[in-house]
Structure 1
Amino acid sequence: MEQPLQYVEPYLANRRAELEELRLIAQEMRDQVWQEGKETELPGGFCHGDVHLENAKFWGLSPTIFDFESCAIGPYTYDVACHWRKRILANGDESARKKEWEAFLTGYQARRPLEQNELEAVPALATLRAIWTMALPAQLGVTWGTDWLTDLSYFDAHFKMIREFAERTRSRRF
Protein backbone atom coordinates (compact mmCIF):
# COMPACT_ATOMS: atom_id res chain seq x y z
CA MET A 1 0.00 0.00 0.00
CA GLU A 2 2.99 2.32 0.23
CA GLN A 3 3.24 2.77 -3.52
CA PRO A 4 -0.32 4.03 -4.17
CA LEU A 5 0.07 6.51 -1.32
CA GLN A 6 3.38 7.67 -2.76
CA TYR A 7 1.60 8.37 -6.06
CA VAL A 8 -0.92 10.72 -4.43
CA GLU A 9 1.46 12.30 -1.91
CA PRO A 10 2.34 15.29 -4.14
CA TYR A 11 -1.38 16.05 -4.57
CA LEU A 12 -1.93 15.93 -0.81
CA ALA A 13 0.96 18.19 0.18
CA ASN A 14 -1.47 20.54 1.95
CA ARG A 15 -3.37 17.65 3.51
CA ARG A 16 -0.62 15.96 5.50
CA ALA A 17 -2.90 14.92 8.38
CA GLU A 18 -5.24 13.12 5.97
CA LEU A 19 -2.35 11.48 4.15
CA GLU A 20 -1.02 10.22 7.49
CA GLU A 21 -4.51 8.98 8.39
CA LEU A 22 -4.59 7.07 5.08
CA ARG A 23 -1.23 5.50 5.88
CA LEU A 24 -2.49 4.39 9.28
CA ILE A 25 -5.71 3.01 7.78
CA ALA A 26 -3.73 1.15 5.10
CA GLN A 27 -1.44 -0.37 7.73
CA GLU A 28 -4.40 -1.36 9.92
CA MET A 29 -6.24 -2.96 6.98
CA ARG A 30 -3.10 -4.75 5.83
CA ASP A 31 -2.66 -6.11 9.35
CA GLN A 32 -6.23 -7.40 9.24
CA VAL A 33 -5.30 -9.56 6.25
CA TRP A 34 -1.55 -10.18 6.60
CA GLN A 35 0.27 -10.63 9.87
CA GLU A 36 3.82 -9.30 10.19
CA GLY A 37 4.27 -9.26 6.42
CA LYS A 38 3.35 -12.93 6.08
CA GLU A 39 0.21 -13.94 4.30
CA THR A 40 -2.41 -15.47 6.53
CA GLU A 41 -4.09 -18.67 5.55
CA LEU A 42 -6.25 -17.03 2.90
CA PRO A 43 -6.42 -19.32 -0.13
CA GLY A 44 -5.16 -17.58 -3.22
CA GLY A 45 -4.54 -17.76 -6.91
CA PHE A 46 -5.69 -15.84 -9.97
CA CYS A 47 -7.90 -12.84 -9.11
CA HIS A 48 -9.78 -10.74 -11.64
CA GLY A 49 -9.34 -7.68 -9.44
CA ASP A 50 -12.44 -5.77 -10.53
CA VAL A 51 -15.41 -8.10 -10.22
CA HIS A 52 -18.76 -6.43 -10.67
CA LEU A 53 -21.70 -6.88 -12.99
CA GLU A 54 -20.48 -4.28 -15.48
CA ASN A 55 -17.47 -6.53 -16.14
CA ALA A 56 -19.53 -9.61 -16.95
CA LYS A 57 -21.73 -10.59 -19.87
CA PHE A 58 -24.20 -13.42 -19.53
CA TRP A 59 -25.51 -15.75 -22.21
CA GLY A 60 -28.15 -17.67 -20.33
CA LEU A 61 -26.45 -18.88 -17.18
CA SER A 62 -22.95 -18.75 -18.67
CA PRO A 63 -20.90 -15.69 -17.73
CA THR A 64 -18.01 -14.22 -19.65
CA ILE A 65 -15.77 -12.01 -17.55
CA PHE A 66 -13.75 -9.21 -19.14
CA ASP A 67 -11.68 -6.13 -18.18
CA PHE A 68 -8.58 -7.86 -16.81
CA GLU A 69 -6.39 -4.77 -16.34
CA SER A 70 -6.37 -5.32 -12.55
CA CYS A 71 -5.82 -9.07 -12.53
CA ALA A 72 -3.07 -10.58 -10.40
CA ILE A 73 -2.27 -13.39 -8.02
CA GLY A 74 -3.77 -12.83 -4.57
CA PRO A 75 -6.36 -14.02 -2.08
CA TYR A 76 -9.47 -15.32 -3.85
CA THR A 77 -11.57 -13.30 -1.47
CA TYR A 78 -10.12 -10.12 -3.02
CA ASP A 79 -12.59 -10.58 -5.88
CA VAL A 80 -15.40 -10.91 -3.34
CA ALA A 81 -14.16 -7.70 -1.69
CA CYS A 82 -14.11 -5.86 -5.03
CA HIS A 83 -17.72 -6.83 -5.62
CA TRP A 84 -18.73 -5.87 -2.07
CA ARG A 85 -17.03 -2.48 -2.44
CA LYS A 86 -18.93 -1.68 -5.62
CA ARG A 87 -22.29 -2.79 -4.22
CA ILE A 88 -21.95 -1.05 -0.87
CA LEU A 89 -21.42 2.21 -2.78
CA ALA A 90 -24.51 1.69 -4.93
CA ASN A 91 -27.41 4.01 -4.42
CA GLY A 92 -30.72 2.69 -3.27
CA ASP A 93 -32.27 0.80 -0.48
CA GLU A 94 -29.84 -0.60 2.12
CA SER A 95 -32.15 -3.57 2.64
CA ALA A 96 -32.08 -4.37 -1.08
CA ARG A 97 -28.27 -4.13 -1.14
CA LYS A 98 -28.06 -6.49 1.84
CA LYS A 99 -30.31 -9.02 0.08
CA GLU A 100 -28.21 -8.73 -3.08
CA TRP A 101 -25.03 -9.27 -1.05
CA GLU A 102 -26.49 -12.34 0.60
CA ALA A 103 -27.58 -13.69 -2.80
CA PHE A 104 -24.10 -13.04 -4.20
CA LEU A 105 -22.46 -14.84 -1.28
CA THR A 106 -24.86 -17.78 -1.59
CA GLY A 107 -24.08 -18.11 -5.29
CA TYR A 108 -20.35 -17.66 -4.81
CA GLN A 109 -20.19 -20.16 -1.99
CA ALA A 110 -22.14 -22.70 -4.01
CA ARG A 111 -19.02 -22.85 -6.22
CA ARG A 112 -16.32 -22.04 -3.67
CA PRO A 113 -17.13 -22.01 0.05
CA LEU A 114 -15.53 -19.21 2.05
CA GLU A 115 -13.88 -19.74 5.42
CA GLN A 116 -14.68 -17.33 8.25
CA ASN A 117 -11.28 -15.62 7.98
CA GLU A 118 -11.91 -15.01 4.27
CA LEU A 119 -15.26 -13.36 5.01
CA GLU A 120 -13.71 -11.26 7.76
CA ALA A 121 -11.04 -10.04 5.32
CA VAL A 122 -13.60 -8.67 2.83
CA PRO A 123 -14.01 -5.13 4.28
CA ALA A 124 -10.26 -4.74 4.89
CA LEU A 125 -9.47 -5.81 1.31
CA ALA A 126 -12.21 -3.48 0.03
CA THR A 127 -10.64 -0.61 1.98
CA LEU A 128 -7.22 -1.36 0.49
CA ARG A 129 -8.82 -1.51 -2.95
CA ALA A 130 -10.42 1.91 -2.35
CA ILE A 131 -7.00 3.39 -1.52
CA TRP A 132 -5.49 1.81 -4.63
CA THR A 133 -8.38 3.09 -6.78
CA MET A 134 -7.98 6.63 -5.43
CA ALA A 135 -4.34 6.58 -6.53
CA LEU A 136 -4.91 5.21 -10.05
CA PRO A 137 -4.94 8.58 -11.87
CA ALA A 138 -1.67 9.57 -10.13
CA GLN A 139 0.33 6.59 -11.40
CA LEU A 140 3.12 7.31 -13.83
CA GLY A 141 2.05 7.12 -17.46
CA VAL A 142 -1.68 7.35 -16.76
CA THR A 143 -3.43 9.84 -19.02
CA TRP A 144 -7.04 9.49 -17.86
CA GLY A 145 -8.50 11.01 -14.72
CA THR A 146 -5.53 13.27 -14.07
CA ASP A 147 -7.83 16.32 -13.86
CA TRP A 148 -9.45 14.75 -10.80
CA LEU A 149 -6.20 15.01 -8.88
CA THR A 150 -6.48 18.80 -8.61
CA ASP A 151 -10.13 18.65 -7.60
CA LEU A 152 -10.36 18.60 -3.80
CA SER A 153 -13.79 16.95 -3.97
CA TYR A 154 -12.15 13.91 -5.62
CA PHE A 155 -10.04 13.27 -2.54
CA ASP A 156 -12.84 14.28 -0.17
CA ALA A 157 -15.11 11.62 -1.69
CA HIS A 158 -12.38 8.98 -1.51
CA PHE A 159 -11.44 9.86 2.08
CA LYS A 160 -15.08 9.56 3.08
CA MET A 161 -15.41 6.16 1.41
CA ILE A 162 -12.13 4.84 2.83
CA ARG A 163 -13.07 5.95 6.34
CA GLU A 164 -16.48 4.27 6.02
CA PHE A 165 -14.92 1.01 4.83
CA ALA A 166 -12.33 1.14 7.62
CA GLU A 167 -15.11 1.64 10.17
CA ARG A 168 -17.04 -1.29 8.72
CA THR A 169 -13.88 -3.37 9.02
CA ARG A 170 -13.40 -2.39 12.65
CA SER A 171 -17.03 -3.11 13.55
CA ARG A 172 -17.23 -6.20 11.31
CA ARG A 173 -20.27 -4.77 9.48
CA PHE A 174 -20.92 -5.97 5.97
Structure 2
Amino acid sequence: MLFTAAPGRVPEPFPLGNAAQSIHFGRSLAMFHTAADTFGSVHERPPLDLKYLLDRSLALLQPFLNHRLEDWKYLLSLVTEIRMRFADPISSHLDWGPIHGDAFSANATLAGDRVTWFDFDLCGPGWRVFDLAGAYGSAMGQERTDEERQQVWLSFLEGYREKRQVTDETLAIIPTMHILLMVYFMAINLEKGPLYGFQ
Protein backbone atom coordinates (compact mmCIF):
# COMPACT_ATOMS: atom_id res chain seq x y z
CA MET A 1 0.00 0.00 0.00
CA LEU A 2 1.14 3.55 -0.65
CA PHE A 3 0.51 6.33 1.85
CA THR A 4 1.23 10.04 2.09
CA ALA A 5 4.79 10.59 3.31
CA ALA A 6 5.13 11.24 7.04
CA PRO A 7 6.68 14.71 7.48
CA GLY A 8 9.94 15.08 9.36
CA ARG A 9 12.30 12.23 10.22
CA VAL A 10 12.99 9.62 12.85
CA PRO A 11 15.45 11.29 15.25
CA GLU A 12 18.86 9.86 16.05
CA PRO A 13 19.59 7.87 18.03
CA PHE A 14 16.35 6.32 16.91
CA PRO A 15 13.55 6.33 17.74
CA LEU A 16 13.34 8.96 20.52
CA GLY A 17 16.33 11.16 19.85
CA ASN A 18 17.47 13.31 22.75
CA ALA A 19 15.57 14.59 25.79
CA ALA A 20 14.39 17.70 23.94
CA GLN A 21 12.88 15.49 21.24
CA SER A 22 11.53 12.63 23.34
CA ILE A 23 9.12 14.92 25.22
CA HIS A 24 7.18 15.40 21.97
CA PHE A 25 6.80 11.63 21.53
CA GLY A 26 5.49 11.39 25.09
CA ARG A 27 2.88 14.09 24.54
CA SER A 28 1.83 12.64 21.22
CA LEU A 29 1.51 9.07 22.48
CA ALA A 30 -0.67 10.28 25.36
CA MET A 31 -2.86 12.16 22.87
CA PHE A 32 -3.07 9.03 20.73
CA HIS A 33 -4.13 6.92 23.73
CA THR A 34 -6.74 9.52 24.72
CA ALA A 35 -8.15 9.68 21.19
CA ALA A 36 -8.23 5.87 21.12
CA ASP A 37 -10.44 5.80 24.23
CA THR A 38 -13.42 6.58 21.99
CA PHE A 39 -12.24 4.60 18.95
CA GLY A 40 -14.52 1.89 17.61
CA SER A 41 -14.20 -0.48 14.68
CA VAL A 42 -16.10 -3.37 13.13
CA HIS A 43 -12.74 -5.03 12.42
CA GLU A 44 -11.54 -7.34 15.16
CA ARG A 45 -7.95 -7.44 16.38
CA PRO A 46 -6.53 -10.00 18.81
CA PRO A 47 -6.27 -8.60 22.34
CA LEU A 48 -2.65 -8.06 23.32
CA ASP A 49 -3.04 -9.93 26.59
CA LEU A 50 -0.87 -12.58 28.25
CA LYS A 51 -2.39 -15.36 26.16
CA TYR A 52 -1.37 -13.60 22.96
CA LEU A 53 1.86 -11.97 24.07
CA LEU A 54 3.25 -14.86 26.14
CA ASP A 55 1.55 -18.17 25.30
CA ARG A 56 1.60 -17.60 21.56
CA SER A 57 5.19 -16.33 21.71
CA LEU A 58 6.40 -19.36 23.68
CA ALA A 59 4.79 -21.71 21.17
CA LEU A 60 6.64 -19.94 18.36
CA LEU A 61 9.96 -19.84 20.23
CA GLN A 62 10.14 -23.39 21.58
CA PRO A 63 11.10 -25.18 18.33
CA PHE A 64 14.08 -22.84 17.98
CA LEU A 65 15.32 -23.57 21.50
CA ASN A 66 14.95 -27.36 21.60
CA HIS A 67 18.72 -27.69 21.24
CA ARG A 68 19.38 -24.93 23.82
CA LEU A 69 17.64 -26.26 26.91
CA GLU A 70 19.38 -23.93 29.36
CA ASP A 71 18.23 -20.93 27.34
CA TRP A 72 14.71 -22.36 27.19
CA LYS A 73 14.69 -22.87 30.97
CA TYR A 74 15.91 -19.31 31.47
CA LEU A 75 13.15 -18.00 29.21
CA LEU A 76 10.55 -20.03 31.12
CA SER A 77 11.83 -18.59 34.42
CA LEU A 78 11.36 -15.07 33.05
CA VAL A 79 7.88 -15.95 31.87
CA THR A 80 7.02 -17.31 35.33
CA GLU A 81 8.10 -14.01 36.88
CA ILE A 82 6.00 -12.07 34.35
CA ARG A 83 2.93 -14.19 35.10
CA MET A 84 3.40 -13.70 38.84
CA ARG A 85 3.66 -9.95 38.36
CA PHE A 86 0.46 -9.85 36.34
CA ALA A 87 -1.31 -12.09 38.86
CA ASP A 88 -1.04 -9.20 41.31
CA PRO A 89 -4.52 -7.66 41.74
CA ILE A 90 -2.99 -4.25 41.02
CA SER A 91 -2.43 -5.26 37.40
CA SER A 92 -6.19 -5.58 36.90
CA HIS A 93 -6.42 -1.79 37.28
CA LEU A 94 -3.97 -1.03 34.47
CA ASP A 95 -5.20 1.23 31.67
CA TRP A 96 -6.57 -0.88 28.78
CA GLY A 97 -7.61 0.18 25.29
CA PRO A 98 -6.39 0.44 21.70
CA ILE A 99 -2.59 0.66 21.50
CA HIS A 100 -0.08 1.06 18.70
CA GLY A 101 1.70 -2.17 19.63
CA ASP A 102 5.01 -1.25 17.99
CA ALA A 103 5.31 2.47 18.58
CA PHE A 104 9.06 2.61 19.03
CA SER A 105 10.57 0.63 16.18
CA ALA A 106 11.15 3.84 14.21
CA ASN A 107 7.42 4.02 13.46
CA ALA A 108 7.05 7.74 14.06
CA THR A 109 8.62 10.85 12.59
CA LEU A 110 9.20 14.21 14.21
CA ALA A 111 8.86 17.57 12.44
CA GLY A 112 9.36 20.41 14.92
CA ASP A 113 7.01 19.38 17.73
CA ARG A 114 4.69 17.35 15.48
CA VAL A 115 4.81 13.56 15.65
CA THR A 116 3.34 11.39 12.89
CA TRP A 117 2.62 7.74 13.79
CA PHE A 118 2.47 4.97 11.22
CA ASP A 119 2.91 1.19 10.81
CA PHE A 120 -0.06 0.00 12.87
CA ASP A 121 0.18 -3.64 11.79
CA LEU A 122 0.63 -4.83 15.41
CA CYS A 123 -2.07 -2.62 16.92
CA GLY A 124 -4.97 -3.89 18.97
CA PRO A 125 -6.62 -3.68 22.35
CA GLY A 126 -4.01 -3.92 25.08
CA TRP A 127 -2.43 -2.42 28.16
CA ARG A 128 -1.37 1.17 27.49
CA VAL A 129 1.77 0.43 29.51
CA PHE A 130 2.86 -1.84 26.63
CA ASP A 131 3.44 1.26 24.47
CA LEU A 132 5.13 3.03 27.41
CA ALA A 133 7.43 0.05 27.92
CA GLY A 134 8.45 0.36 24.27
CA ALA A 135 9.55 3.93 24.92
CA TYR A 136 11.35 2.87 28.10
CA GLY A 137 13.22 0.12 26.28
CA SER A 138 14.16 2.44 23.44
CA ALA A 139 15.48 5.09 25.83
CA MET A 140 17.45 2.57 27.89
CA GLY A 141 18.85 0.96 24.74
CA GLN A 142 20.42 4.11 23.35
CA GLU A 143 24.19 4.31 23.07
CA ARG A 144 24.47 7.08 25.63
CA THR A 145 25.58 7.46 29.21
CA ASP A 146 23.24 6.17 31.92
CA GLU A 147 22.41 9.74 32.86
CA GLU A 148 21.54 10.69 29.26
CA ARG A 149 19.35 7.61 28.85
CA GLN A 150 17.49 8.51 32.04
CA GLN A 151 17.01 12.06 30.78
CA VAL A 152 15.50 10.78 27.49
CA TRP A 153 13.11 8.48 29.36
CA LEU A 154 12.11 11.04 32.01
CA SER A 155 11.55 13.67 29.31
CA PHE A 156 9.29 11.25 27.41
CA LEU A 157 7.40 10.49 30.63
CA GLU A 158 7.04 14.19 31.41
CA GLY A 159 5.49 14.78 27.99
CA TYR A 160 3.10 11.86 28.41
CA ARG A 161 2.02 13.05 31.86
CA GLU A 162 1.27 16.52 30.52
CA LYS A 163 -1.56 14.96 28.52
CA ARG A 164 -2.53 11.78 30.38
CA GLN A 165 -2.31 10.38 33.89
CA VAL A 166 0.20 7.65 34.71
CA THR A 167 -0.47 5.74 37.92
CA ASP A 168 2.20 4.45 40.28
CA GLU A 169 1.07 0.91 39.42
CA THR A 170 1.76 1.60 35.75
CA LEU A 171 5.24 2.94 36.48
CA ALA A 172 6.03 -0.02 38.72
CA ILE A 173 5.17 -2.59 36.05
CA ILE A 174 7.04 -0.95 33.15
CA PRO A 175 10.28 -2.99 33.61
CA THR A 176 8.25 -6.24 33.68
CA MET A 177 6.29 -5.17 30.61
CA HIS A 178 9.55 -4.37 28.87
CA ILE A 179 10.73 -7.97 29.38
CA LEU A 180 7.37 -9.22 28.09
CA LEU A 181 7.73 -6.95 25.07
CA MET A 182 11.18 -8.42 24.32
CA VAL A 183 9.84 -12.00 24.44
CA TYR A 184 6.97 -10.99 22.15
CA PHE A 185 9.24 -9.30 19.62
CA MET A 186 11.60 -12.29 19.52
CA ALA A 187 8.60 -14.35 18.41
CA ILE A 188 7.43 -11.67 15.96
CA ASN A 189 10.85 -11.65 14.31
CA LEU A 190 10.89 -15.44 14.08
CA GLU A 191 7.57 -15.26 12.26
CA LYS A 192 9.34 -13.19 9.62
CA GLY A 193 11.91 -15.95 9.12
CA PRO A 194 10.32 -17.33 5.93
CA LEU A 195 10.59 -13.82 4.43
CA TYR A 196 14.01 -12.72 5.70
CA GLY A 197 15.78 -15.93 6.67
CA PHE A 198 16.56 -17.41 10.06
CA GLN A 199 20.27 -16.70 10.39
- TM-score, normalised on structure 2? 0.66
Aligned to 1:61: 113
In the alignment, is the contact (CA less than 8 A) between 1:4 and 1:132 conserved in 2?
yes
SS state at 1:113 partner? coil
CA distance in 2, matches of 1:112, 1:33: 23
Q: CA RMSD in A?
A: 2.1
Query: How many angstroms does 1:39 deviate by?
Result: 5.3
Of structures 1 and 2, the one with the larger relative CO (CA 8 A, separation 6+) is 2
For 1:42, which of 88, 91, 94 is the aligned residue? Answer: 94
The code of the aligned residue for 1:133 comes to F
Specify whether residues 53 and 144 from structure 1 end up closer, same or farther in structure 2 by C-alpha distance, changes over 3 A only: closer
Work out the CA distance in 2 between the residues paired with 1:45 and 1:34: 19
Q: Distance in 1 between matches of 2:135 and 2:70?
A: 30
Task: In structure 2, list runs of 5 or more residues that go unmatched.
Answer: 1-53
The SS at the match of 1:63 is strand
Amino acid at match of 1:122: I
Cα deviation per residue 1:132-162 (whole Å; 9 max; x = unaligned)?
A: 11112333x75334323xxxxxxxxxxxxxx
* Aligned position for 2:197: 146
| Alignment partner of 1:94 out of 120, 126, 146 | 146
**What are the within-5 Å matches in structure 2 for residues 17-166 of structure 1?**
17-35=70-88, 40-52=92-104, 54-139=106-191, 143-148=194-199
List 4+ stretches of structure 1 deviating above 4 A.
Answer: none
The one-character-per-residue Cα deviations of 1:28-75 (angstroms, maximum 9, x if unpaired) are: 113213448x95100110111122272112344232111112211111
* Displacement after TM superposition at 1:112 (Å): 0.8
Listed as ranges, the gaps of 5+ residues in structure 1 are 149-174
Q: Would the aligned equivalents of 2:139 and 2:150 in 1 still touch at CA under 8 Å?
A: no
Q: Which amino acid aligns with 1:146?
A: G
